[in-house]
């Protein structure tokens, strides 16, 4: 039995060969997957009216090594079927409150390891070259991905003169901001489940005008890849109320570093110019913390306002 098949497919394909007790298990799980995901093998057997060993044999009959692997598959099945609060319960319902920090950080580490294992370095290099050679660079991300798009565009602006962060209040406004996109340009679309139709339409619009399309998404099966010739894949974790975008952000960091290395002279000049501007206009004078003689001097208000000084 193919390891890529989800739990529901395995149950459907095996149903005719199941024993009476196993069929009851299959029926219960199919109808109550949101409850079954929390149950031990013994408790699931008790509810259905079969022995714990029958539950374990059922899991193995479906092609899993044991009940823990079966339960992981059940989590995978339900996390895309539930609302945000239910997904959080599935992900963290069996975790002690004191272990949440450890669990979430370790989960993010797993996403990074998984991304490193699956991302194609040739595609990464192609993305870098495509951005370097583009006349204009457009970046789009919706909802939680808007923060990624904004972060990416901020640093791209330090490297290039031709960066456009697409604002996304409506589809018509997106098209208005992209009206001049053409074959010498590139758009970078960032989208993770739940996928954004507005991002997809923006990428379709760019593709129809022969622009290069780069996507940063979670799977080769993502609809975001429909119009993209350069697909960067990064793991995201949708099994909680918070979208884990640590791995996508890390890929963006890698792109920024790679682009900076290719444009070192330009970046150095830009940073020198910004330092001069910051000094001349005291941009950070009222917004920075200075360490002076091991104490912190904080700037508030105008220099002449004595009530802010000791």
Q: What is the pLDDT of residues 62-97, one digit of tens each?
A: 888 888 888 888 877 766 555 444 555 545 555 566
pLDDT at 13 > cutoff 70: yes
DSSP letters for 12-71: HHHGGG--HHHHHHHHHHHH-HHHHTT--HHHHHHHHTS-HHHHHHHHHHTT-SSHHHHH
Asked, for residue 200, whether it belongs to a domain, the answer is yes
Asked, for residue 278, whether it belongs to a domain, the answer is no
**Residue 282 backbone phi and psi in degrees, to 5:** 50, 50
Asked, for residue 65, whether it belongs to a domain, the answer is yes
Question: Could you tell me the two tokens for 164?
Answer: 């456009």
Note the pTM of the prediction, 2 decimals.
0.61
Same domain, 118 and 60: no
Asked, for residue 103, whether it belongs to a domain, the answer is no
pLDDT at 241 > cutoff 60: no
DSSP 80: T
Using CA atoms, how far apart are residues 288 and 297, in angstroms rounded to an integer? 9
Same domain, 64 and 142: no
The confidence score (pLDDT) of residue 221 equals 77
Asked, for residue 54, whether it belongs to a domain, the answer is yes
Q: What percent of the chain has pLDDT over 90?
A: 27
pLDDT at 46 > cutoff 60: yes
Asked, for residue 302, whether it belongs to a domain, the answer is no
CATH number at residue 74: 1.10.10.10
The confidence score (pLDDT) of residue 3 equals 43
Angle, CA 234 vertex, CA 107 and CA 121 arms, to 5°: 125
Same domain, 127 and 53: no
Give pLDDT tens digits for 132-162: 999 999 999 988 889 999 999 999 988 888 9
Same domain, 49 and 127: no
Q: Which residues pair with 141 in a beta bridge?
A: 190
Burial of 52 (0-12, 13-18, 19+ CB in 10 A): middle
Three-state SS for 134-182 is CCCEEEEECCCHHHHHHHHHHHHHHHCCCEEECCCCCHHHHHHHCCCCC
Stretch 203-222: mean pLDDT, rounded?
Answer: 90
Q: What percent of the chain has pLDDT over 70?
A: 77
Domain count, the chain: 2
Lowest pLDDT segment from 92-96, 198-202, 221-225, 258-262: 92-96
Burial of 117 (0-12, 13-18, 19+ CB in 10 A): exposed
CB 19 within 8 A of CB 29: no
Q: What is the dihedral of CA 124, 215, 79, 246, to 10 degrees?
A: 50
CB within 8 Å of 230: residues ≥ 6 apart = 123, 126, 127, 130, 212, 213, 214, 215
- Residue from 151, 132, 180, 184 nearest 251 by CA: 151
Number of other residues whose CB lies within 10 A of the CB of residue 20 = 8
Same domain, 141 and 37: no
Domain range for 190: 114-266
Residue bearing the bigger pLDDT, 170 or 10: 10
The confidence score (pLDDT) of residue 2 equals 39
Element (H, E) at 188: strand 186-190
pLDDT at 290 > cutoff 80: no
The pLDDT mean for the chain works out to 79
CB within 8 Å of 163: residues ≥ 6 apart = 136, 137, 139, 153, 156, 157
pLDDT at 223 > cutoff 90: no
């Amino acid at each position: 039995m193919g390891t890529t098949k989800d739990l529901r497919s395995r149950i459907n394909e095996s149903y005719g060969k199941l024993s009476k007790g196993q069929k009851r298990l299959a029926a219960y799980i199919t109808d109550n997957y949101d409850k079954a995901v929390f149950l031990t093998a013994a408790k699931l057997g008790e509810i259905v009216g079969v022995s714990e060993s029958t539950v374990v044999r059922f899991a193995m009959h479906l092609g899993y090594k044991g009940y823990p692997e079966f339960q992981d598959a059940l989590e995978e099945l339900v996390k895309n079927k539930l609302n945000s609060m239910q997904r959080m319960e599935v992900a963290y319902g069996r975790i002690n409150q004191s272990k949440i920090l450890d669990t979430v950080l370790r989960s993010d580490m797993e996403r990074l390891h998984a991304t490193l294992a699956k991302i194609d370095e040739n595609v990464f290099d192609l993305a870098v070259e495509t951005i370097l050679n583009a006349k204009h660079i457009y970046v789009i991300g919706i909802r939680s991905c808007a923060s990624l798009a904004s972060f990416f565009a901020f640093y791209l602006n330090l490297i290039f003169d031709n960066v456009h962060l697409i604002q996304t209040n409506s589809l018509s406004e997106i098209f208005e901001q992209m009206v001049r996109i053409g074959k010498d340009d590139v758009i970078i679309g960032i989208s993770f489940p739940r996928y954004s139709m507005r991002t997809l339409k923006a990428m379709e619009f760019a593709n129809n005008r022969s622009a290069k399309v780069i996507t940063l998404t979670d799977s080769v099966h993502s609809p975001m890849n429909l119009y993209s010739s350069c697909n960067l894949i990064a793991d995201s974790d949708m099994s909680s109320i918070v979208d884990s975008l640590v791995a996508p952000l890390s890929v963006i960091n890698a792109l920024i570093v790679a682009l900076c290395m290719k444009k070192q002279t330009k970046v150095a000049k830009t940073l020198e110019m910004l330092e001069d501007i910051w000094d001349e206009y005291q941009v950070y004078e009222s917004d920075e913390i200075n360490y002076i003689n091991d104490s912190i001097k904080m700037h508030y208000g105008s220099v002449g306002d004595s009530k802010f000084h000791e």
